[in-house]
Amino acid sequence: PSSRHHRLPTTLAPRGHCGHPLGILADFTANPVFLETPDGQLLYAASTGTGPVGADPLQVWEGMRGDRAARESPPTGALLVDVPGGGPETGSVRARLVLLAVAGPLATVHRMAAERAAGLLAVVLMQARQEEELAARGRGDFLTDLAEGRIAPEDAPAQARVLGFRPGGTPLLPVVMRLAPELSPSGNWALLARAVLEELASVGVPVLLGVRPVEGRVPLLLGLRSEGERTAVADRVAAALRAGVERAGLDRAGAQHPVVVVGVAGGWAAAGAGLRHASETATAAQGLDDRPWYDARRLDIDLLLWRLRDHPDLAAFVNRAIGPLREHDRTSRPPLLPTLQAYLAHAGRKAETARELHLNRQTLYNRLARIGELLGTDLDDPQTVLALSLALRARRHTT
C-alpha cells in the first residue's frame, strides 16, 4: 500500500528528510506512525491509508493526543521510541516515534523496526540541524560583513539574492536581537533561527535573518514598502522575535529578556551602517528597562556612555554626581536613588512621581529635600538635572 504523509511546520521539522523512513515504517507495520517533539507536538505523520478513520493520520493523532492528555499516559497498544538528541546531555531526546495499533496489533518485530528507524532519524535530524545552522551562520556572516564595510553597497543586492533576499527597491530596515549570555542556545542556533523565521513569516515582508553565535546576536534586514510603516513593522518583528525565542525554549525565568534594536530605514548604502549601529546599541541597551524594542536613534547617549565604560573619568563622574546617594542606600532605608530616578524620568513633575512611587506628596517632598541635602545641590537647576540624569544612566557601566 502507498503511504500518506503529512508534515507540519515546527521548530524541529527536518526539512522533509524524515518522510522516507517514516513511510517505510508505516508500510511495514501497516499502522500510522508519528514523529513528535518530546513535549508532544506533532512533527510528521505517515499512514498506510488503511484503518477505521478514513486513513487520515492527523485524525488518528488528534484522537490519541486527547486520550493521552486525559490520562497523562501513552494510549493502549502504542509503541513509543525515543529519537536520541545527540546533544551534550547524556540521554537527551530529540524527538519521539509513536506507533498506533489502528489497523492491526503491533508485534515485537515492529518495535525493533521502530528502534532502527529512530537511530536513522537521529542522524537525519542532526544533519539537517547542522545544514540549517551553517546556512544561518552564512547569512549572519554576510550581514556582519555588510555592517563592517567589507561588502560594497553596490555589490550587496546580488549577494543578498543568492541568499534568497529580494526586497526590490524598497527601503531596508536593519534590526538586531541580542540574547543575554544566560540565554545562549548552547550551540543549537538552527533551532532558534528556524523558530524566529517561522514567526516572522506572519509579518509579510521580505526577511534576511542570520545568526552570530559568538556575539549572541541575531541580525536581520527587512524590506519595507515605505519608510512610513517602520514602526508598525518593528512592532510585529519584535513580537515575532520574542515568540521565536520562547518557542526555542530560551525564555527562561529570571533571565534578562532579549534586546531588540531597530535601526533607521534606508537603501543598501545605509543598511551596513544601520546594522552596525543597531548591533552596538543592542549591547549598550543591556540592563535598561525592558521594552518590546528600542529605537537605535534614541539610545545614542547610552551607546556613548557604554563606549566610555572602561574610562576612569566616567566612574569618577558617577561617583561625584551620585556617590553620596549610593552610599546612603547601602546603609539606610528607604533607598533614595529610585526616588531620584523616578523624579528625573517625570521631568520634575512631583504629582506623577508620587503616583509612580505610591507616595503621598509630603513624603515625596521630604525625600527630595534629603536628596538635595546629601548631594549639596538644587534639584531645580537644569545643569544639575542633566548631570544627575547622565550619572544615573552611566552607573550601569561602572562598578
What confidence category does residue 356 fall into, taking pLDDT thresholds of 50, 70 and 90? very high
pLDDT at 1 over 50: no
Say if residues 274 and 174 touch (Cβ distance below 8 Å).
yes
pLDDT at 366 over 90: yes
Give dist(CA 214, CA 211) in Å, integer: 9
Summarize pLDDT for 156-167 with one digit per residue, the tens: 999 999 899 999
Predicted pLDDT at 183 = 67
Summarize pLDDT for 299-321 with one digit per residue, the tens: 999 999 999 999 999 999 999 99
Give dist(CA 246, CA 12) in Å, integer: 14
State the angle between helix axes of 337-345 and 312-331 in degrees (0 to 180), rounded to the nearest 10.
Answer: 120
Would you give the distance in Å from CA 1 to the centre of its chain?
Answer: 43
Q: Which of 37-41, 74-78, 217-221 has the weakest average pLDDT?
A: 74-78
Q: For residue 253, give Cα distances in angstroms to 129, 180, 238, 293.
A: 26, 13, 19, 20
The residues pairing with 98 across neighbouring beta strands, listed in sequence order, are: 34, 80
- Mean pLDDT (the chain) is 84
Q: Please state whether beta strands 259-262 and 294-295 pair in parallel, antiparallel, or not at all (unpaired).
A: parallel
334-357: average pLDDT:
95
Radius of gyration of the chain (CA): 28
pLDDT at 279 over 90: yes
pLDDT at 62 over 60: yes
Residue partners of 233: CB distance under 8 A and separation at least 6: 173, 203, 205, 222, 224
Predicted pLDDT at 123 = 80
Joined grid coordinates for residue 305: 556612555
Predicted pLDDT at 56 = 54
320-340: average pLDDT:
95
Residue partners of 261: CB distance under 8 A and separation at least 6: 175, 176, 177, 178, 278, 279, 281, 282, 285, 293, 294, 295, 296, 299
Say if residues 293 and 238 touch (Cβ distance below 8 Å).
yes
Q: Which amino acid is present at 248?
A: A
Summarize pLDDT for 116-157 with one digit per residue, the tens: 988 888 887 776 666 677 788 899 999 999 999 999 999 999
Say if residues 231 and 214 touch (Cβ distance below 8 Å).
no
The beta strands (E) that lie in 282-350 are given as 294-295
Go through the domains of the chain in sequence order and give each one's CATH number.
4-128 (3.30.450.30), 165-307 (3.30.70), 312-397 (1.10.10.2840)
Predicted pLDDT at 90 = 41
Q: Which of 47-51, 247-251, 306-310 has the weakest average pLDDT?
A: 47-51
